[in-house]
Structure 1
Amino acid sequence: MDISTLLSQAACKWPDQIALHEPASARTLTFAELDRALSGVGQALDHLQIAPGARVALLADASLDYLLADYGCMATGRVRVPLDPALAPDELLAQLQDAGAALLLFSEAYAAVAQGLGIRSLALHTLTAIKPVDSPPRPAQSPQSLASLNYTGGTTGTPKAVMHQHASLCAVLQNIVMGRGAAVGDVLLNVRPLWPIAAVAVLGHLLSGGQVVLAGRFEAKAFLPQLVEYRVAFSSLVPTQLLRLLRETGSAPADLPAFKSLDVGAAALTGEVLEGSCSLFSERIGVLYGMTEAPWSCYLAPAQMAAVREAGGSAEGLVGRPLFSAAIRIDQPDAAGVGEILLGGPQLMRGYWQLEALSAKTLDNGWLRSGDLGRIGPDGLLWVLGRCKDIIRSGGKSVQPAEVEQNLLRHPGVQDVHVFGLADLEWGEQVCAAVVLDGSQPLSAQQLMDHCRAGLSRYKVPRRVYFIDELPRSHYGKVQKNRLFAALNLQP
């Protein structure tokens, strides 16, 4: 199967149903109109002499025109290369050169950035310059052909491009359709950026016959009114957005009769944010687990989340069971069943673009090494407990940063925290914490260390505490360690 065929089938099933609605421009597209527009994008790329197989980079915020270019590239045999607009020009330049992009499509908001990159071999056009026109039906694409390059750097290191073929993205889409369980006509509100893989999650909703409302950037004040106005059934936020929403609205249950699920991914839901979210949305919280290399691999449906909480269990770190085409296993589990999470299935990436050694290391005998620590309960539910490489080795003992972070977050004066290790001649590594205070009370490093001693083994207590106004986080909520260390004047 391929993206072009799936979109054509959707147009045949629901030709007159609204597929996309963009309130800011008052534009709507039915499924039939969307399908014709995607073919037109291909014809426009033909006129620009952008051949099938060429990489087409996208630099824009979430919009209807963005999705037309994104899906139009894949449906007509080009390779989408979505870029993060928040990157510095040098970072964008490095990604474009690494991809060997033939064309950069950008929105007017990023015209100055695009035109200042200075790559002579790169054609530049605004998204609105790609005007879809009526054209003949599209041919199907080979399932094994490359559909997408998705640049990801995680929280450290040099960005690298994840390769997805049509076949792997179709497996992802199948997981989304079966996991989310949307009905024809259900509305999904999108207020998230569409890179690097979120546009695929949006496509999964469309392939259920649902309508997508593209509401621009997330605004905490506007979010709940938007859910009511558009009679939204589904939406998705990252934990940082959820925290802003709770600070704006509080956690009293919202009156949302049409709402079915708020899906949360990326950084884990913990503590106050989890409790507040479940209250605000009346237990209609779903948790997805995956990564750009293996999107939508596990899903915890709202009913499962509610059942765990009703039984009195903690749902912190719980991410559900593997979806239809996915498989999970724990590599080299310890006595408690904790080890590295391995992911299998057709939704896995093909590898990293032009990084054969790293690809072979990450894809180990058909299993993707996630780098995450986890365990599988007797009920088959997966718990994510931290990152393998984040484990701190101090005095011959292992410390999981998440355990220390949760202890610190239980102090009423701590708003946010990140625990990490620093090299130490005597101990190997020292446990350190970067702490954001909530301003309710003055706190010293010694007071926080004493707080930890009351609830943690001595070797887990931070030996250094650094105070910072705000932790530098990515859109997905992950702490960006290079920026954190730079802010603290530390050497990683």
Structure 2
Amino acid sequence: MWTERAATPVRAVLRARLKWNRERVPDRTALRVATATGWDHTTWAELDHAVAQVERRATGLPGGPVVVVANGDADSVATLFGLMTSGVDVVVLESQSSTVDDPRSVVHRIGASTVVGVPERPHRAWRAEAAPPGTAGFGAPDGEVLQLTSGSTGEPKLARQPLRNVLSGALTYRRTFELTADDSVVVAVPVAHSFGLIGGLLASLVSGADVWTLPRFTVRRVVEALDGGATALLATPLAYRLLIPALPAAERALRVALSSGAPLTDELANGARRRLGCPVRQVYGSTETGLIACHPASATVWPAGSVGTAPPGTELLVDEAGRVLVRTPTLYEGYAGATGAVRVEDGFYDTGDTGRIEDGHLFLTGRKTTFVNVGGRKVNPRRIERFLGGTPGVRDVAVYGDTDDRTGEQRLHAAVVLAPGTTKGDVLASCRELGLLPYETPHRLVVLERVPRTAMGKVDARRLREALGAVRDDESEGVT
């Protein structure tokens, strides 16, 4: 039986796990990838062989982190695993990301040398400028995984996670949700996100479980996976909302359903439970911290509104101001290119959320609002403002999120000041030309005579709400 050994290099541990799975069940399916017509299967022997090929090619890569655009297909999974086991610093981006083509994004500023996984240019070298201090050669002997995160303010950042943290996070998911080689895990979230990568792909790898991935989310494929014997499901609240009406009552093998990416309401959790036949467990955490709180597999009931208890090795604290502070074994090393302190007093990290703790259960009373959560994808309003602000005919812009009162889902909106002769259609056409993806494009544009700002030049949120309220619905409708 394979066991973790603390003295073994982390990348060697991951490599040994792949080898162990290959030797134990070489012909068993390791990965099922959803396609337009069904599912493509990859065995453990085939996956191990593909990883070995990536490892051989990795020795010839130029210096600097490698950017992997990962959609969850067999090639991208093998590329991720192969670079990790080679000790290469890896920047993981989801396939639906405009960041790779944004020359002002942080990805272009850190000295990345190669992009892998963009179909029209599978191996493209960047002529990056000299990397700023604290970016090139991050120093972890096993390499680092860098993932986009909203950070606390401003443009998206790259959170640096040593591979040891990534492995530790995967083992935490394995233990907390009692994953074994008998499990079959559906990853219905982007594998480039921390939840999908660590809680899905890597937790399955160290458990010996097989994985179902969806390069493009469809309700039909998730239902097929659940009817096909899947025992664990990772999804967003929006995905569960879409699944409920599509799931017929039936006996299923599903025993663990996890939700992350946005708050999970009790109403939605109860509705999903009736259809799935097992409780939906909210996962609270972040790219910076890893898993903070959850309802483990051993728990069958918990207080309404609770996001869970801290897993082993994690310490939770709510200070006098109500701030949720945390100390985790998977706390990030900082942001690429930044030198600011990660921890606050006594080694704790400030999540930016507020809450309370009762009998060990964490209840959140306030969440960060620096990003807009569009179907589980975090969109930074400041970045979209930068794109729109550079569009011809746009004199000023404020991007903000709005919550649908009926569904509780967030949408991205923008208030714009336009030059004479410029229309909302012109702005939307520019969004497409700039490479903004559908979830990054404002669902609604509101044209104002001016965007109200404070003396410091910041958007005056109160006055903006008043201005938006004065705009008739027919003047701001319908620009999806």
Specify the SS of the correspondent of 2:108: helix
- Structure 2 portions without partners, runs of 5+: 1-8, 130-138, 371-399, 414-438, 452-458, 462-480
Deviation of the 1:59 alpha carbon? 2.0
Please point out which of 5, 16, 30 is paired with 1:8.
Answer: 16
Q: In 1, Cα distance between the equivalents of 2:76 and 2:155? A: 26
Taking the aligned partners of 1:435 and 1:214, their CA distance within structure 2 comes to 29
Q: How do residues 98-137 of structure 1 correspond to structure 2 at under 5 angstroms?
A: 98-108=109-119, 111=120, 119-121=126-128
Conserved 8 A contact 1:73-1:80:
yes
Cα deviation for residue 437 of structure 1 reads 5.8
Instruction: Identify if the C-alpha distance between structure 1 residues 438 and 159 changes in structure 2 by more than 3 Å, giving closer, same or farther.
Output: closer
- C-alpha distance 352-486 of structure 1, shift in aligned 2 (>3 A): farther
Give how far 1:200 is off.
Answer: 2.1
Equivalent positions of 1:223-372 (< 5 A) are 223-229=222-228, 231-246=229-244, 248-249=245-246, 254-301=249-296, 304=299, 306-308=300-302, 313-314=303-304, 316=305, 318-332=306-320, 339-357=322-340, 360=341, 362-372=343-353
Q: Percent identity?
A: 19
How has the CA–CA distance of structure 1 residues 7 and 469 changed in structure 2, closer, same or farther, with 3 Å as cutoff?
A: closer
8 Å contact kept, 1:236–1:264: yes
Name the CA shift for 1:488/1:328 in 2 (closer, same or farther; >3 Å).
farther
Write the letter of the residue equivalent to 2:66: V
Instruction: Name the stretch that deviates more: 257-266 or 152-161.
Output: 152-161
Q: Which moved more, 1:83-92 or 1:169-178?
A: 83-92
- 1:386 and 2:366 correspond: yes
Question: Would the alpha carbon gap of residues 92 and 276 (structure 1) be closer, same or farther in structure 2, given more than 3 Å must change?
Answer: farther
Give 1:272 deviation, angstroms: 3.2
Matching of residue 95 in structure 1 with residue 106 in structure 2: yes
| In structure 2, C-alpha distance between the alignment counterparts of 1:303 and 1:23, rounded to whole Å | 31
Letter in 2 for 1:174: L
Moved more, 263-272 or 28-37: 28-37
| Alpha-carbon distance between aligned partners in 2 of 1:285 and 1:258, rounded to the nearest angstrom | 14
Instruction: Provide closer, same or farther for how the CA distance between residues 299 and 232 of structure 1 changes in structure 2, counting only shifts above 3 A.
Output: same
Residue equivalent to 2:136: none
Query: Once structures 1 and 2 are overlaid, which stretch shifts more, 174-183 or 31-40?
Result: 31-40
Structure 1 contact 149–162 (Cα < 8 Å) conserved = yes
Give CA deviations for 1:123-174 in whole Å, capped at 9, x if unaligned. xxxxxxxxxxxxxxxxxxx975432111112596211110011221122122
Supply the AA of the counterpart residue of 1:222.
R
Distance 1:44 1:33 in 2: 17
Shift of 1:472: 2.5
Shift of 1:389: 6.7
CA distance in 2 between counterparts of 1:181 and 1:289 reads 18
Aligned-partner Cα distance in 1 for 2:280–2:368? 27
What corresponds to 2:51 in structure 1?
Answer: 38
| Alignment CA distance shift 1:361-1:84 (3 Å) | same
Instruction: Tell me the alpha carbon deviations over residues 246-296 of structure 1, each in whole angstroms, 9 at most, x when there is no partner.
Output: 3x427x7x3243111111012111143222112222343122111001112
Instruction: Say if 2:32 is the partner of 1:21.
Output: yes
Instruction: Please give the secondary structure, in 1, of the residue aligned with 2:301.
Output: helix
Structure 1 counterpart of 2:394: none
Number of aligned residue pairs? 372
TM-score (norm 1): 0.67
Aligned to 2:150: 153
The TM-score normalised by the length of structure 2 is: 0.68
The alpha-carbon distance between structure 1 residues 433 and 33, as it changes in their structure 2 partners (threshold 3 A), is closer
- Residue 73 of structure 1, CA deviation: 1.0
Residue 212 of structure 2 is matched in structure 1 by 213
**Distance change (3 Å), C-alpha of 1:13 and 1:436:** closer
